[in-house]
Amino acid sequence: MIRNNYIGLLFLSVVMAVIPLFISNVYYLSILIFIGIYSLITIGLSLLMGYAGQISLGHAAFFGLGAYASGILTTRLNIAPIPAAIVACLFTGLVAFLIAVPTLRLRGHYLAMATLGFGQIIYVVFNAWIKLTGGPSGFGDIPRIRLAGICFDSDFKYFYLVWSVVLVGFLLAIHIVHSRIGRALRALHSSEEAAGTLGINTSRYKIEIFVVSTMYASIAGSLYAHFVTFLSPESFGISFSILLVTMVVFGGRFSVWGAILGAAVLFSLPEYLRVARDYDVLIYGVVLLLVVMFLPGGLAGWLDGMARRISLLFISRAPKRMKC
Amino acid sequence: MTLGSQILQYVISGISVGSIYALVALGFNIIYNTTGIINFAQGEFVMLGGMIAASLVGIFSVPLPVAFLLAVLIVTAAGALFERLAIQPLKNPSVLVLIIITIAGSILFKGIAMFIWGKQTYFLRSFSGDIPINIFGATVLPQTIWILGITAVVVVLLNVFFNFTLIGKAMRAVSSNRMAASLVGINVKKMVLFSFALSAAIGAVGGVIITPIALMDYERGAMLALKGFAAAVLGGIGNFHGAIVAGLLLGVLEALGSGLISSHYKDALALMILLLVLFLKPSGMFGSAQVSKLKEF
């Protein structure tokens, strides 16, 4: 299972390495950069939703915390982008930890409510703390990332930076899924009591995975800040949190691959279809409802099923695999 | 204006907004009690109620009482339809799936509203004029009195419904024990359907009565749901009287906070209270810790 993932990852790396060589249009390149940034958030969120069975309705806020912390540290305090991103990431993780400890100790889905409320609070703070955040009109002039003498000032260079981070994040996610924590999380998802009786410290694992998933969002936020170089609150509201959940569910919440698929399809859809731009809310609603009802494994689950059926045609005596 | 009458003014406006939070919280509780679901689409029922009434009166010149009734009926049907099409077909859904489904429902309702009404803000005229009444130096709009009166009527009717009618009692039975309720011949599926319809109706009432004061647009639902949810949690989720007290309390605190401290953070206050309650006493002001331990959610 993990070997298949490595092969897939290698394939993805090669594809991503050569794609920019064939794209001359900067616009398409920037779309791919955004897909990379959003994939990073959805990978983290899919760890939480698919493996820990919890849901965060405030991931836009953690994404925003990363972005604003990076932006503020680099413009106000003149800290270099990389250390700033690390500080932002640790700060976001700490905030997430403080939210997770009281809510994840409880059984059930209080985390959903707490993150929803927290997301809205952060959104209000971004708007209201004008001295620090520039309020509703935001702030700009965020510097580009400079690393080992290279300034990532073109979309071409930034593409490689973002997708390198995504691939590292992906690798890390696969390892988490296939580690002891990952197995414990899956056990927890199917039955919290059973997992508990087997000596799995359920709340600790849930807290850890939640913190990790917000750190993914924070790193994505830092990458976003140094790419767009301008931040304003409306990119970080509730509707974006919901869109992230939609991406994960649509792509397939039981697979890290689904996270990338969901981000790629749902982000690029409004870019290509005008109808999708005007009625995006309606379309996301329909997509989310239909996928949850009829395609619980999402796009990745569906593709997986198709691939399995096709391979069965060729290898007639293939052993039946367990559904998961 | 003296500080005293100023505070009275804030309290009065807080109570009228708080009534809506209370109605939303009641809607949350009704569905939660029969199904264990937190219905994230609850705020959209309020939005739809307001939008439908506003356009019936404003565009089609329907008399206000008729528009009120029609708005509530249409939203009730929408709530029932949502349950029938999206919730009922699920077999043994996990709580996570239910959360996602109701979120999907809320985006869907919001999208449909945007499709029908666009992004403009809609206005509904007050029920009986706009000449303010003076009470101890504070001005009270007649609409405020309508809001309080209608909320009170809804609460009384709900009490009668749950205590003295067969369906109401059956719904309470389902909420206390699903299995036992179905063993004594109660059609649990039907009760779940009723609970969605009833919640939608209550939400719609809230939407119609608040629109003359607060106006309405397609995006309003999410925030109303959040604050109503904060009220439901503060009052102890599932607790009816807690929801009413907490809703009014939140409205008043919000009005006082934004009037006396800073209006920038108005929308954050209720949510900070929500977080505090979740952290410190998740069973809410009136909920018992033991009961909340047994709840699935």
Spatial distance between the Cα atoms of B199 and B202, rounded to a whole number of angstroms: 5
Mean pLDDT, chain A cut into blocks of 10 residues (324 residues total) = 76 82 82 92 91 87 94 89 91 92 74 86 89 83 78 80 91 85 70 69 83 95 91 88 90 86 86 73 86 85 84 63 48
**Amino acid present at A195:** A
Asked whether the beta carbons of residue A293 and residue B101 sit closer than 8 angstroms, the reply is yes
**Amino acid present at A24:** S
Spatial distance between the Cα atoms of B200 and B80, rounded to a whole number of angstroms: 8
Asked whether the beta carbons of residue B229 and residue A120 sit closer than 8 angstroms, the reply is no
**Amino acid present at B138:** A
Asked whether the beta carbons of residue A281 and residue B110 sit closer than 8 angstroms, the reply is yes
pLDDT of residue A324: 46
Q: Mark B207-221 as b/e (b = at least 16 C-beta within 10 Å).
A: bbbbbbbbebbbbbb
B86 touching chain A per CB within 8 A: yes
Of all residues in chain A, the one with the smallest CA distance to B111 is A282
- In angstroms, the Cα distances linking A36 to A219, B277, B278 are 12, 37, 34
Q: Mark B252-285 as b/e (b = at least 16 C-beta within 10 Å).
A: bbbbbbbbeeeeebbbbbbbbbbbebbbeebbbe
B82 touching chain A per CB within 8 A: no
Spatial distance between the Cα atoms of A248 and A263, rounded to a whole number of angstroms: 7
Measured between beta carbons, the chain A residues lying within 8 angstroms of B90 are 293
Measured in whole angstroms, the distance separating CA A146 from the mean position of its chain's CA atoms is 24
Spatial distance between the Cα atoms of A289 and A321, rounded to a whole number of angstroms: 28
Q: What are the extents of the domains in chain A?
A: 2-314
User: Which of A118, A293, A294, A295 should we substitute to test contact with B (largest number of B Cβ atoms within 10 Å)?
Assistant: A293
Measured CB to CB, residues of chain A less than 8 Å from chain B are 49, 53-55, 57, 99, 102-103, 106-110, 112-114, 116-118, 120-121, 124-125, 127-128, 238-239, 242, 245-246, 249, 279, 281-286, 288-289, 292-293, 296
Asked whether the beta carbons of residue A108 and residue B89 sit closer than 8 angstroms, the reply is no
Give kind and range of the element (H or E) at residue B255: helix B240-256
Q: State in words which class domain B3-294 has.
A: mainly alpha
B229 touching chain A per CB within 8 A: yes
Phi, psi of B122 (to 5 degrees): -110, 150
Q: Given B86, B101, B233, which is nearest A113 (Cβ)?
A: B233
Provide the angle, in degrees to the nearest 10, between the axes of the packed helices A298-314 and A256-272.
110
Largest CA-CA distance found in chain B, in angstroms, rounded: 63
Following DSSP, what letter does each residue of A275-290 receive, concatenated? HHHHTHHHHHHHHHHH
The third-level CATH classification (topology) of the domain covering A2-314 is ABC transporter involved in vitamin B12 uptake, BtuC (1.10.3470)
Measured between beta carbons, the chain B residues lying within 8 angstroms of A55 are 96, 99-100
Asked whether the beta carbons of residue B264 and residue A116 sit closer than 8 angstroms, the reply is no
Q: Mark A42-68 as b/e (b = at least 16 C-beta within 10 Å).
A: bbbbbbbbbbbbbbbbbbbbbbbbbbb
Phi, psi of B38 (to 5 degrees): -90, 110
Torsion, Cα of A147, A148, A150, A152 (10° steps): -10
Spatial distance between the Cα atoms of A88 and A68, rounded to a whole number of angstroms: 8
pLDDT tens digits, B202-244: 999 999 999 998 899 988 888 899 899 999 988 888 888 889 9
Spatial distance between the Cα atoms of B56 and B64, rounded to a whole number of angstroms: 8
Q: Which residues contact A106 (CB under 8 A, 6 or more apart)?
A: B282
Task: Report whether A238 contacts A29 (CB < 8 A).
Answer: no
pLDDT tens digits, B176-202: 888 888 888 888 888 989 999 999 999
Spatial distance between the Cα atoms of B249 and B89, rounded to a whole number of angstroms: 38
Asked whether the beta carbons of residue A289 and residue B267 sit closer than 8 angstroms, the reply is no
B230 touching chain A per CB within 8 A: yes
pLDDT tens, per residue, chain B with 297 residues: 677 788 888 898 899 999 999 999 999 999 988 888 888 899 999 999 999 999 999 888 889 999 999 999 999 999 999 999 988 888 777 778 888 899 899 999 999 998 899 888 998 888 887 788 887 777 888 888 899 999 999 999 999 998 899 998 898 888 888 888 888 888 888 898 999 999 999 999 999 999 998 899 988 888 899 899 999 988 888 888 889 999 999 999 999 988 887 777 778 888 888 888 888 877 777 765 545 444 544
For strands B133-135 and B138-140, give the pairing: antiparallel
pLDDT of residue B199: 94
Spatial distance between the Cα atoms of A48 and A54, rounded to a whole number of angstroms: 6
B289 touching chain A per CB within 8 A: no
Q: What are the extents of the domains in chain B?
A: 3-294
Asked whether the beta carbons of residue A282 and residue B115 sit closer than 8 angstroms, the reply is yes
B111 touching chain A per CB within 8 A: yes
- In angstroms, the Cα distances linking A316 to A304, A310, A313, A321, A324 are 17, 10, 6, 13, 21
Phi-psi region of B284 (alpha: psi -120 to 50; beta: other; left: phi over 0): left
pTM: 0.87
Q: Given B107, B223, B296, which is nearest A288 (Cβ)?
A: B107
3-class secondary-structure state, position A143: coil
